[in-house]
Structure 1
């Protein structure tokens, strides 16, 4: 009897212990469902809505859409304002109620009490951001461009919102993860206590208990694993909802949260078309989320390209066809640049400016990457030339599509540069100016791809090239030795190789002022390729020098007369 009583007492104690732990676990799950996940959801919604508000403002001011479309966006902006206010009110109520709920443990209540002040601070800043964005939308609707752009520039003053959003999201996620971990620990305690009980009570109860707790443990492990994957940025497929209890509700809430995060990621990817994600990763401190306010001098390779005669082409085309042609051109150039680790800095009319530098290119490979990218652009641009009729919609008198490119390598200032409200990760310095000037020098020599000597020397083991001339670009006094890129190494055709060798001989004769021999040598180049632009240019110079010889101290440097 005493054994039975002892067994009953042990059973009662184990049952009481189990009930206590289950009650604690249930409270934790209710806290997750009622407070933690709704707070996490609200922070995600705030981030999404503010992000959407900013995109709406930019689209109304700079999107070029119809007024009807912009009126729809205006209504959406007002709707977002109301939703943001509602979310803040709900979040404050949740945090305040959660901090006073006795079902939550002391750590959770203190954490939620601290969140109240942070939410209030964020509310004030976010409302200011939303008001400025709405002002930009209103000004954009009223065609007040200056006021709209000024309002857009003020949005940069609210860059500190993202770290606050991230802080609140991390805190809410930590609350959820901690509660799940505590519940998981309770389950382990339940398992151990019931194992002892069921060892005395019999195998049947033991196996029944394992079936119940095994299901709970599997579900929580799946949820914990999914939470860790979500924290690492890996969004899982929706988890199966296997019950209608708190666990089922928690799984449903988790699935909803993941879908919202996926939606936010899609918006982020869309915005990534305006700013290279690699630049964001380079200029934002991953620990604090703050912008690195720094610039440094590095050896960088700069790229410029331009469509020859684009003004005339634009006069032949409608605005839609002009944009279509530019988009094909920008897409081809951007693809080659990014495939070879380059960064597109900006589009300037029909010009593309890009650069290659560490850490985007490894070590001194930036010049090689840039040269190979430009050589890859040639067939890409030739394809556009072949398809110019379909692109422009013209069946006759189609414009000639020809792109001039140039590369210059040298010391350049690279980093985050700009005003207090508007910044850009870019490059500035003399090398940028030289690259821009060399792009224009193509017009003199009838070439399409010129590089300076520093660029060629760093890439010469990977490319074939020929020296073109020694000149001073417009606005500079220091001479620049320039080369024409011909092909990747080992891929030069025999005719071009023969032309390169003949041209080198002719150039040497020219620099030694042997005009008659040089003229014959350049004529030989034209017999190899009759349209060779550099040879035609030098024959014109020789004719001039035969009439008016250069001064005795002439060093072979040619002075360019324009940009």
Structure 2
């Protein structure tokens, strides 16, 4: 019986459709299971975790209101009844909210335990439910002790009040530890459930790929019976398909004919090219954060070389002065709100001047400028302008602080320190095989960090290196501060204070800069009396100029105890 090519192709197509249908059906069924697991995570695990966290927050709020209520009861005679009643209501509201969150967390767990979609953690969930039930009982005991405390506080029994308050504080510490343990356990269970869902999803992909491989193999077997002129290109095409399926996206199948098979082969090659580009995008996006880094690496694939390269760049470090003291005066929630806003405000000038945010270091920011993201002759100027704009943003940020913190008075003004250095760095992909960061390392990075720290020694807000001063040209106004030798380097460095944009100095600032320069020259000549007079003249112009105060104190010390004869005017900078 003669079987035409059309019939053979139809047979191949029919077989492939059956296998694809089976694969699609199985994949759909398993995908539904994955969807069900995601629903369970969204409906039970995450809400239970959030409820526990909220219960802890409301409990802390209740404790704060209790402290304020006790203070109100001890104030004046007679006490402010309106204020006391308001605090009592706030205390009750926080307590009820905490109890409600604990109850809702248990409700989620009780609904989750019998659910048929489980992650083999039923016993752990039951233990967690028992733990939360114990916390609820502890909450009732706490309310009883609290009622007793408020009663003796209202009666003015200070000794009993202190005793009960100590007992209540002890209970509070124990409760906080227990609810934190419950929250951590809930987070662990949720993380394990996510990993279980991911593992199941990977099995779905593996089974689907196996069915696709089976379909390809069947196609090869049937195609072997087709005429020689059809079999060879089809075999090459199938071999290419198998290679791509295994991840060889550099596969190119040669086009040996102009018929339908030839056109199909050309289309296959185009498809592989698109897959290769998309694979590059996915891989790159998983390693880099800034969109310009991603776009640059895709447009210029040679940048993805893990070996890195040496380039001249400008590095900026910026951090908040006295962050520890600033943060100790705030609640955790207020601190997070303030820091998020602060980092947003400080990051905007960097991005507006085409800088790359390398990383956030607590309250600090590290950024860099240089090719291929900025021109080789622009990076120093853009970094300095960004630093000036960061300083200019502080006044507006200070105005926002009362709204962000809820505190209207007594807030200290936020000040920052900025260090900028220009020089050769190593730039490239640095990290593990799984996750990398496009970043910069080298002495220039360390120098910028040291200059950031040196701002504290000189009382300056922004210091730049000698190389940055040469590169920036006349775009900004500068003042030479000193010659220093930073830790880890063997050559001294002239450091300059960043004062403003070109032409933006007042007559007083220009006069101060000239007086300081004269005094600094005398200091380097060891003309101590002349240097003292010079720095005193600087302070007469601006009594609040910190660098002049620092240098005057140093010169007075040198006048009493002169340095060695081989002293070259270089100051050893110990700050990191």
TM-score interval for Structure 1 and Structure 2 normalised by the shorter chain = 0.5 to 0.7
Q: Is 1:527 aligned to residue 540 of structure 2?
A: yes
From 424, 430, 434, give the equivalent of 2:443.
430
Matched residue, 1:379: 392
Distance 2:432 2:284 in 1: 24
C-alpha displacement at 1:33, in angstroms?
Answer: 13
Residue equivalent to 1:167? 249
Corresponding position: 1:275 with 2:393: no
User: 2-side partners of 1:486 and 1:276: how far apart?
Assistant: 30
- 2:249–2:275 Cα contact (<8 Å) kept: no
Q: By how many angstroms is 1:404 displaced?
A: 0.4
Larger relative contact order (Cα-Cα within 8 Å, sequence gap ≥ 6) = 1
**Which residue is equivalent to 2:201?**
83
Structure 1 residue 331 displacement after superposition: 2.3
Query: Counterpart of 2:484 in 1: which secondary structure?
Result: strand
The answer on whether the counterparts of 2:347 and 2:357 sit within 8 Å (CA) in structure 1 is yes
Q: 1:98 to 1:481 in 2, by over 3 A?
A: same
Deviation at 1:99, TM superposition (A): 6.0
Matched, 1:354 2:370: no
Change (3 A) 1:113 1:304: same
When residues 79 and 514 of structure 1 are mapped into structure 2, their CA distance, relative to the original with a 3 A threshold, is closer
CA distance change for structure 1 residues 530 and 424 in 2, over 3 Å: closer, same or farther? same
Q: Give 1:395-406 correspondences, 5 Å limit.
A: 395-406=408-419
Match of 2:519 among 506, 512, 536: 506
Contact 1:307-1:350 at 8 Å conserved across structures: yes
- CA deviations on 1:56-110 (whole Å, 9 max, x unpaired) are 9xx99xxx98654664454344334333322332343245336646899866676
What residue in structure 2 maps to residue 391 of structure 1?
Answer: 404
User: Which residue of the partner structure matches residue 551 of structure 2?
Assistant: 538
Q: Equivalents in 1 of 2:15, 2:510: separation in Å?
A: 78
Instruction: Determine the structure 2 residue equivalent to 1:97.
Output: 215
Distance 2:488 2:300 in 1: 42
Post-superposition Cα deviations, 1:457-480, rounded to whole Å, max 9, x if no partner, equal 100221111111112223444221
Of 354, 369, 376, which residue of structure 2 is paired with 1:363? 376
Q: Does the Cα contact within 8 Å between 1:28 and 1:180 map onto a contact in 2? A: no
Equivalent of 1:496 in 497, 509, 512:
509
Give how far 1:423 is off: 4.2
Residue 474 of structure 1 pairs with residue 487 of structure 2 = yes
How many residue pairs get aligned? The number is 409
Residue correspondence of structure 1 range 445-460 to structure 2 within 5 A: 445-460=458-473
Q: CA distance change for structure 1 residues 417 and 90 in 2, over 3 Å: closer, same or farther?
A: closer
| Alignment-derived partner of residue 152 in structure 1 | none
Equivalences for residues 286-325 of structure 1 within 5 A: 291-325=304-338
Decide whether the 8 Å contact of 2:421 with 2:467 is kept in 1: yes
Stretches of structure 2 lacking an aligned partner (at least 5 in a row): 50-179
TM-score by length of 2: 0.58
Verify the 8 A CA contact 1:295 1:415 in the aligned structure 2.
yes
Q: Which runs of 5+ in 1 are unaligned?
A: 1-19, 123-163, 186-226, 235-260
Residues 22-171 of structure 1 mapped to structure 2, 5 A cutoff: 67-68=185-186, 71-72=189-190, 74-97=192-215, 100=218, 111-112=237-238, 114-116=240-242, 119=245, 164=247, 167=249
Tell me the CA shift for residue 548 of structure 1.
2.6
Query: Which secondary structure state, in structure 1, belongs to the residue aligned with residue 448 of structure 2?
Result: helix
**Residue 118 of structure 1: how far off its partner (Å):** 5.5
Instruction: Give deviations 1:360-407, integer Å, cap 9, x for gaps.
Output: 221232211211111121122333232223333434432442110101
Distance 1:33-1:534 versus aligned 2 partners, 3 A rule: farther
TM-score by length of 1: 0.59
| Residues in 2 aligned to 1:438 and 1:341: alpha-carbon distance in whole angstroms | 22
Aligned to 2:358: 345
Asked whether the 8 Å contact 2:476–2:501 carries over to 1, the reply is yes
Pairwise CA RMSD: 5.1
